[in-house]
């Protein structure tokens, strides 16, 4: 899949939910035990498995797509039950702001060490015509505070692919993939794909390196990386941009790696839409 995108362009311009759709459908072709579900939002969260059919109670039990209706808590609980059985790879989806409706089930996933994977789209206030009811102002911060939960917020195809790799490699920890509705324009040279993929698995990497002595570090995730990249280009040659798609993985790295990515005693600015901790 990296080869496919490297032949197209060095500029990734698409919503990360679209990258996710391509990735999960490729995984489904290779993993017959992958199951995907949605709380009445398959067309928006884009995790429908095209090579399969719907699972239903009318005798069609071979389908890999579960339609759960507008019942986020029911969906999370059902997928927890599937993961207690432990044989399937599961992904269930809704909008990020609606993750509050399944919070008890998600919290149980973390407490019980279940491998339930969640896909939450519409990752920021940039949700178009839906308005304030769909804007996850405090949601991302709340998820980050939940113990034994990995929150991954990618900004490009490489990071989205890395997020799925983390979800496959992680044991006894649920994973949340936080994906964008809108397109994100991030310039990535194709010869850097492998290094950035490895950086994603470590949780953070340098997306744009300073051209001279480092004076300022910009840190961003998801939708805001494109904005941070533009600021970095316009600011000065002394500025570095760091993308941190998975804070949980970054915090487990060696002190040497952390200091390499974010050197101490350097001015640092974080660009991320959401609530500010006062």
Q: Which residues are catalytic?
A: 72
Cα 238 to Cα 32, 180, 212, distances in angstroms: 49, 29, 5
**Cα 158 to Cα 149: distance, rounded to the nearest angstrom:** 21
Alpha carbon distance 176, 150 (integer Å): 6
Tokens at 183, concatenated:
């397109």
CA–CA separation, 127 and 132 (whole Å): 9
Give the whole-angstrom CA distance, residue 278 versus residue 259. Answer: 26
Distance (Å, whole) CA 43 – CA 41: 5
Question: What single-letter DSSP state applies at residue 14?
Answer: E
- State the DSSP code for 105: H
Residues in the chain: 278
Nearest to 136 by CA among 118, 124, 145, 153: 124
C-beta of residue 115 within 8 angstroms of C-beta of residue 83: yes
Comparing C-alpha atoms, which of 118, 107, 144, 105 is closest to residue 246? 144
| Cα–Cα dist 3/6, whole Å | 5
């Amino acid at each position: 899949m990296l080869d496919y995108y490297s032949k197209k362009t060095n500029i990734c311009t698409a919503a990360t939910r679209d990258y996710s759709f391509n990735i999960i459908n490729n995984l489904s072709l290779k993993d017959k035990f992958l199951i995907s579900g949605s709380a009445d939002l398959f067309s928006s969260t884009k995790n429908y498995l095209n090579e399969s059919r719907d699972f239903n109670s009318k005798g069609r039990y071979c389908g890999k797509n579960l339609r759960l209706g507008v019942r986020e808590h029911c969906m999370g609980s059902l997928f927890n039950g599937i993961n207690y059985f432990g044989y399937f790879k599961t992904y269930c989806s809704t909008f990020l702001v609606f993750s509050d409706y399944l919070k008890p089930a998600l919290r149980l996933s973390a407490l019980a060490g279940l491998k339930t994977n969640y896909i939450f789209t519409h990752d920021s206030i940039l949700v178009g015509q839906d308005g304030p009811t769909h804007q996850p102002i405090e949601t991302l911060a709340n998820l980050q505070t939940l113990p034994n939960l990995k929150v991954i917020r990618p900004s490009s195809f490489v990071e989205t692919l890395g997020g799925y790799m983390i979800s496959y490699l992680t044991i006894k920890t649920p994973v949340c993939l936080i994906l964008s509705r809108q397109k994100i324009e991030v310039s990535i040279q194709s010869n850097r794909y492998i290094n950035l993929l490895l950086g994603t698995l470590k949780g953070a990497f340098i997306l744009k390196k300073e051209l001279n002595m480092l004076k300022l570090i910009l840190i961003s995730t998801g939708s805001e990386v494109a904005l941070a990249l533009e600021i970095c280009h316009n600011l000065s040659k002394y500025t570095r941009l760091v993308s941190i798609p998975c804070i949980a993985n970054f915090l487990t790295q060696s002190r040497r790696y952390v200091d390499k990515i974010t050197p101490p005693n350097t001015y640092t600015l974080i660009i991320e839409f959401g609530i500010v901790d006062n």
